[in-house]
Amino acid sequence: MTSIQYSATVSPMPILSLNGISLTIQNHRILQDVSFDVKEGEIIGLIGPNGSGKTTLFNVLSGFLQPSKGTIAFRGQDITTLIPSRRARLGIGRVFQHFGIFREMTLEENVRVALEALPREQRRALGDLEELIGATLEMATLKSHAKQKAGSLSGGQMRLLEIARTLKSGKELFLLDEPTAGVSPKMTHQVADIIQELKKKGKTVLIIEHDLPFIGRICDRVVVLDLGKVVLIDEPEKVRQSRALKEIYFGADPTT
């Protein structure tokens, strides 16, 4: 890769471009002509009812599913046919709905394996491995649990570990799939804080979430998906007031 530093102010190129993504599995059209751009440093909320294709879209972006049509570009590079690990090495990170944690490994190993998977030059640039592992666990406020198996953590703790690990391993674009699902209300704030931190660090975030107030607080724009199609892309406040959203969630209102 080149050593050019991109930043939100200078780069006119979107960090992520989806062009006409369609996915058909066994005659079911799961995604239909999904197109939008994401600017560097933007936080985008992805909402829509169950089965609208949100997680499927994430799977297409991470490379677990190949779109039937359309292309994906990351920083101008076409990544449509790249395998998941290559995309990860380019800087696309994923946080899973059901926790992407290695439960039978210790917390320390969970972080170590992520850092070891980086390309060599990138790992060197991040500095001392042991220090970085310590810093990652510290960020997740889990340093005292380093030698514990990750499976013994609470949902909220797993989520913090997963996000901190993704951040500290140098990812630039974050795909967060329902980061507050399975997290106790008390811990939700901590998870929200760590996402705010991503924003402060200029990272780009796509976030699937059902909690609309939560989306409203942190997102710059919201993409509404329904039946695999993009229905609306706008600022959170405008989306909240739109009729389209109400129709999707509650059905069309015959009186208006």
Residue 169 in contact with another protein, rule: CB under 8 A: yes
Tell me which stretch binds another protein (CB under 8 A): 36-44, 78-86, 139-147, 247-255: 78-86
Nearest to 246 by CA among 49, 78, 114, 12: 49
Residue 105 in contact with another protein, rule: CB under 8 A: yes
* Six token digits for residue 230: 């993009």
Sequence length of the chain is 256
Tell me which stretch binds another protein (CB under 8 A): 20-28, 99-107, 206-214, 227-235: 99-107
**CA angle 192–172–178, rounded 5-degree value:** 35
Residue 97 in contact with another protein, rule: CB under 8 A: no
Residue 85 in contact with another protein, rule: CB under 8 A: yes
How many other β-carbons are positioned within 10 Å of the β-carbon of residue 240?
A: 15
**CA angle 148–150–153, rounded 5-degree value:** 90
Nearest to 174 by CA among 158, 184, 185, 163: 163
Alpha-helix residue ranges (DSSP H) falling in 35-83: 54-62
Phi, psi of 241 (to 5 degrees): -90, -5
Please report the sign of the dihedral spanned by the C-alpha atoms of residue 39, residue 171, residue 49, residue 179. Answer: negative
Q: Can you name the residues that pair with 34 across neighbouring β-strands?
A: 21
Tell me which stretch binds another protein (CB under 8 A): 69-77, 87-95, 215-223, 240-248: 87-95
Within residues 213-232, the interface with another protein by CB under 8 A covers none
Which one, 6 or 102, has the nearer CB to another protein? Answer: 102
Which one, 105 or 233, has the nearer CB to another protein? Answer: 105
Shortest Å, Cβ 238 to another protein: 32
Q: Which amino acid is at 17?
A: S
Within residues 28-67, the interface with another protein by CB under 8 A covers 62-64
Which one, 15 or 101, has the nearer CB to another protein? Answer: 101
Which one, 109 or 234, has the nearer CB to another protein? Answer: 109
Residue 124 in contact with another protein, rule: CB under 8 A: no
Residue 140 in contact with another protein, rule: CB under 8 A: no
Sole binder of another protein in the list 101, 224, 225, 230 (CB under 8 A): 101
Residue 84 in contact with another protein, rule: CB under 8 A: yes
**CA angle 129–130–135, rounded 5-degree value:** 95
Residue 23 in contact with another protein, rule: CB under 8 A: no
Residue 155 in contact with another protein, rule: CB under 8 A: no
Q: Is the distance from CB of 37 to CB of 17 less than 8 angstroms? A: yes
Residues that bind another protein (CB under 8 A): 62-64, 83-85, 88-89, 92-94, 96, 100-105, 109, 112-114, 116-119, 165-166, 169
